[in-house]
Amino acid sequence: NAGVTQTPKFQVLKTGQSMTLQCAQDMNHNSMYWYRQDPGMGLRLIYYSASEGTTDKGEVPNGYNVSRLNKREFSLRLESAAPSQTSVYFCASSETGKFGEKLFFGSGTQLSVL
Amino acid sequence: GENVEQHPSTLSVQEGDSAVIKCTYSDSASNYFPWYKQELGKGPQLIIDIRSNVGEKKDQRIAVTLNKTAKHFSLHITETQPEDSAVYFCAASKVTGGYQKVTFGTGTKLQVIP
């Protein structure tokens, strides 16, 4: 059972380039999330998808777009990368997104924007 | 919105000693408080959680306490072992629009010295 799988693990971009971070879960979870992790700032929510077909902004959505492709997959797109988007990105999922649920995280994507 | 403060940012203890990490939250509507452990190169994993109707919860060497009046909660690890070395995140969660919104603290890097 793989859990939450993220690709790629590492990426270097130049300012202005675009890219898509992929995330897939095999636990039949309804809710999926994208977080970014920066030193001294913890984990901040970028976007989430409470269920297939819905997406909502989180705390820091500017510069990002998401697609909930199907129940398994939730992608994060940077249309025009900026150095401020250098970060470690984590995808997570939970069963229904309701109260008191455990979040299952992927192993992260380390992104550098030069 | 919710603000979660976490202290200390780094903590070094001798193997066998206890470690305590403290968090405060601002939103009295938060009612679920999970703790996540992040090992190097991996995503965070839930280690223990507590709901607002409970004051303390224990799981082997790990315990969490919650003081709702003071809006603070703490993680206690007893008889620390080298494998406890990791970054620990506290979080506060509440239900918004039918779904839980999780706000993370900034993390504590725990080093257990053999």
The pLDDT confidence band at residue A1, using thresholds 50, 70 and 90, is low
The confidence score (pLDDT) of residue B97 equals 76
**Closest partner residue to A107 among B42, B93, B105, by Cβ?**
B42
Beta strands in A26-62 (DSSP E): 31-38, 42-49, 56-57
In DSSP terms, which residues pair with A84 in a beta bridge? none
Please write the tens of the pLDDT for every residue from B92-106. 999 887 788 899 999
CB A102 to CB B49 under 8 A? yes
Please write the tens of the pLDDT for every residue from B38-87. 999 899 999 999 998 889 999 999 999 999 999 999 999 999 999 999 99
% of chain A exceeding 70 in pLDDT: 99
A-chain CB neighbours of B43 within 8 Å are 4, 90, 92, 105-108
CB B1 to CB A59 under 8 A? yes
The H-or-E segment that residue B88 falls in is: strand B86-96
Q: Which of residues 70-109 of B touch A (CB under 8 A)?
A: 89, 93, 95, 98-102, 104-107
Give me the mean pLDDT over the B9-23 stretch: 98
Q: What does the alpha-carbon distance between residue B52 and residue A110 come to, in Å, rounded to a whole number?
A: 35
Q: Alpha-carbon torsion A86, A91, A97, A102, what sign?
A: negative
In this structure, are residues B106 and B92 in contact, taking their beta carbons and an 8 Å threshold? no
